[in-house]
Amino acid sequence: MKRIFSALTIAALSLAFVGPIMATPAEAASWKCTAKKLKNASYRGGRTAMIHLSPYKSGGRYPVTKVSDKKVVGKTKDGTPFTCTLQ
């Protein structure tokens, strides 16, 4: 009986530590961003997206506006609109 209790206690403690490490649905989701002259983009469900447009050497982080649970939109510094959609 003690062994079963010990095993259950260890299992419960393991879940307590592993649970918070697991990704939330927004973090685990795959987002695809589109824009004219897009070289690279990254969005992970936060308040900003990283957008890199051609011909610029690097990209930047730009604020997004949530349109729906599966879509956000924004504008880069030069005014180029972009959209990120949950896949």
pTM of the predicted protein model: 0.68
User: What mean pLDDT, rounded, does the chain reach?
Assistant: 82
- 63, part of any domain: yes
Q: What SS3 class is residue 36? A: coil
85, 73 Cβ separation under 8 angstroms: no
- 64, part of any domain: yes
More confident residue, 49 or 20: 49
Q: What SS3 class is residue 6? A: helix
Strand partners, 15: none
What is the bridge-based pairing of β-strands 38-42 and 48-53?
Answer: antiparallel
φ, ψ (nearest 5 deg) of residue 64? -120, 155
Percent of the chain with pLDDT over 90: 67
Structural domains of the chain, count: 1
Domain that holds residue 49: 24-86
Mean pLDDT over residues 21-39, rounded?
76
- 49, part of any domain: yes
Q: Tell me whether the omega of the peptide bond preceding residue 25 falls within 30 degrees of 0, making it cis.
A: no
- 5, part of any domain: no
- 72, part of any domain: yes
